[in-house]
Amino acid sequence: MSNQILKVVDYIINFLLQDNRHLAGKVGYTADIDEYHKYSVIIYPSGFFDSQQYGKQSSIPALPLQKIENTELLFGEPQIEYIKGKMVVKADIIASSFFLMSRYEEFVCKDYRDIHKRYEGVSSLQYRAGFIDHPIVDEYGKLLIKWLQQAGETVQQSKQGFRAIYLTHDVDSIGFYQNFRGVLGGLYRAILGRNGSVSNILQSIIDVRKDPAYNFRWLIDRDNEVTSAEKIFFVKALKKSKGFDLPHYNIEGKALKRLFQLFRTTSSRIGLHSSYQSFGDNKQIAIEQKFLAQATDETINLHRSHYLTILPPDKAHYYVKAGITDDFTIAFASVSGFRLGTCHAVNWINPKTLEIEPILLHPLTLMDCTLSNSNYMGLGYDEAFDYAQQLINQVKSHNGELVLLWHNTSFGDTDDNYHTKLYKAILELIK
């Protein structure tokens, strides 16, 4: 194996062990029987990294997948042998973890994109194989720790509970009635008696703080009920918006300056919500980051892309150049679950170069519109709550990070909008 592959293997072993990283030297990844004496547990390589099929669609696992102790296995065989008194695991949990953590499938398969050129969640192996709702990389970690214990090593037992909670909000708009289209739609609905009133709309035009979508103080108060959580607001930073980046707001204007001050005084962090445009013009990311840093007079190193249009797995350098250290984009827009197979923060791994990039990916557990939108999961309130609880319990059982995304514009009072009720219920679950 090349030195770069060995670095990736070492990183994955350490990642799987989490709080037992001190035992990483006890785990081998080799088929050389003369090396077995060095280790307590040997993971037998499946040949994934050395194969001439690497980077080709033929390297994607075929369905149905085999299982190792009830966890789906992507590469290798679900067998354990003892050779010269050493435990040799034929299940290649290293290659299987790499496949998910590096977004290898998205790198290899150039099809399966939606209208926004995002990789389709329903086309992913995670969804097709039925493990989108549980983090199999974290399950591999628990198996590895168990095998080490069986081999006679003293291990630290897995913790439960949340390692971290991030309550995040994308500021796609600061108000419903701050542009001509919004006002016209609001007046039309008010006249029909569907929701709102003409007087409320007029008050919102005069003072954005009266707009029902300008609910940031309310959101912060709700988030503060979870005392261990970190609050992050992701802000757009285009000087001119068009298309899917509309509606536009001016981050140098009075309304946003007031909002930034609110964030500062409530210990709410500000991150860059990179534009839809920047997904096609990647150099725009650094321009937007610089503009937001200037407008806020803060270091901007947190990031989430608009419409969850995360750059392809081999393009992390555009984020690195923009000073991004932590990304909170990683999720499939169309289906909630574990896109990277884990609920722990993981370094961006480039499947093309095998470089481990200096960006931490914080997997997004739940997004509001993924649950409710008819073109995504389209769940009713009860179904959405049950599914959210299922994912939250998975994160808790693996001592992972819980990352929630609810837009400030999702808390309207229309009859078909359950997000105020759902968000409050979820916060009660995680207090």
For residue 258, pLDDT over 80 is answered with yes
Q: Are residues 352 and 403 in the same domain?
A: yes
Contact between 343 and 100 under an 8 Å Cβ cutoff? The reply is: no
Q: How far is CA 5 from CA 36, 75, 100, 163, 351, in A?
A: 19, 16, 16, 29, 10
* The pLDDT value given to residue 51: 79
Instruction: Give the number of C-alpha atoms closer than 13 A to the C-alpha of residue 176, restricted to the C-beta side.
Output: 25
Instruction: Give the number of C-alpha atoms closer than 13 A to the C-alpha of residue 401, restricted to the C-beta side.
Output: 22
Provide mean pLDDT across the span 84-102. 98
pLDDT digits (tens, 9 = 90+) for 42-88: 999 999 998 789 999 999 999 999 999 999 999 999 999 999 999 99
- Flag whether 20 is in a domain: yes
Would you state the structure tokens that stand for residue 265, as one six-digit string?
Answer: 């005084």
Q: Please tell me which residue, 189 or 279, carries the higher pLDDT value.
A: 279
374 secondary structure, DSSP code: T
CATH number of the domain where residue 399 is located: 3.20.20.370
- Flag whether 221 is in a domain: yes
Q: Are residues 169 and 68 in the same domain?
A: no
Contact between 405 and 364 under an 8 Å Cβ cutoff? The reply is: yes
Pairing state between β 230-235 and 71-73: unpaired
Please provide the average confidence, as pLDDT, over all residues in the chain.
93
Residues 1-40: b if buried by 16+ CB within 10 A, e if exposed: eeeeeeebbbbbbebbbbebeebeebbbbbeeeeebeebb
User: What range does the domain containing 110 cover?
Assistant: 3-150
Provide mean pLDDT across the span 12-39. 98
For residue 187, pLDDT over 50 is answered with no
Range of lowest pLDDT (139-148, 187-196, 222-231) = 187-196
The rounded percent of the chain whose pLDDT value lies above 70 is 91
Q: Are residues 169 and 317 in the same domain?
A: yes
| Straight-line distance from the first to the last Cα atom of the chain, in angstroms, rounded to the nearest whole number | 46
- Flag whether 321 is in a domain: yes
Provide mean pLDDT across the span 375-390. 98
In 124-178, the DSSP E strands lie at 164-171
Give 17-22's long-range contacts (Cβ < 8 A, gap of 24+).
17/141, 17/144, 17/145, 18/141, 18/158, 18/344, 18/399, 19/156, 19/158, 19/159, 20/145, 20/148, 20/155, 20/156
Query: What's the maximum distance between 2 C-alpha atoms anywhere in the chain?
Result: 82
Q: How far apart are CA 174 and CA 154, in angstroms?
A: 53
For residue 175, pLDDT over 90 is answered with no
* The pLDDT value given to residue 183: 44
For residue 423, pLDDT over 90 is answered with yes
Closest by Cα among 370, 265, 233 to 308: 370
- Flag whether 208 is in a domain: no
- Flag whether 204 is in a domain: no
Q: How far apart are CA 400 and CA 415, in angstroms?
A: 35
Q: Are residues 21 and 132 in the same domain?
A: yes
348 secondary structure, DSSP code: E
Q: How far apart are CA 260 and CA 326, in angstroms?
A: 20
- Flag whether 127 is in a domain: yes
* The pLDDT value given to residue 57: 94
Q: Are residues 102 and 169 in the same domain?
A: no
Token match 């679900």: residue? 78
Contact between 272 and 221 under an 8 Å Cβ cutoff? The reply is: no
Q: How confident is the model at residue 193 (pLDDT cuts 50, 70, 90)?
A: low
Q: Are residues 121 and 168 in the same domain?
A: no
Q: How far is CA 156 from CA 56, 149, 216, 222, 344, in A?
A: 39, 9, 41, 35, 18
- The DSSP secondary structure of 165-215, one letter per residue, reads EEEEEEES-S-TTSSHHHHHHHHHHHHHTSS--HHHHHHHHH-GGGSTT--
Indicate yes or no: pTM above 0.85: yes
Name, in order, each residue with C-beta under 8 angstroms of 222's C-beta and a sequence gap of 6 or more.
423, 424, 427
For residue 234, pLDDT over 60 is answered with yes
Please state the domain count of the chain. Answer: 2
Q: Are residues 52 and 106 in the same domain?
A: yes
Q: Are residues 239 and 369 in the same domain?
A: yes
Q: Are residues 169 and 306 in the same domain?
A: yes
pLDDT digits (tens, 9 = 90+) for 104-160: 999 999 888 999 999 999 999 999 999 999 999 999 999 999 999 999 999 998 889
* The pLDDT value given to residue 213: 79
Q: How confident is the model at residue 320 (pLDDT cuts 50, 70, 90)?
A: very high
Q: How far is CA 224 from CA 11, 112, 166, 388, in A?
A: 35, 40, 11, 20
Closest by Cα among 274, 270, 290 to 236: 274
Q: How far apart are CA 367 and CA 344, in angstroms?
A: 17
* The pLDDT value given to residue 198: 54
Q: Are residues 119 and 26 in the same domain?
A: yes
* The pLDDT value given to residue 228: 96
* Beta-ladder partners of 366: 404
- Flag whether 353 is in a domain: yes
Q: Are residues 14 and 144 in the same domain?
A: yes
- Flag whether 343 is in a domain: yes
Q: What share of the chain is helix, strand, coil (3-state, %, to 5)?
A: 40, 15, 40
For residue 415, pLDDT over 80 is answered with no
Q: Are residues 133 and 168 in the same domain?
A: no
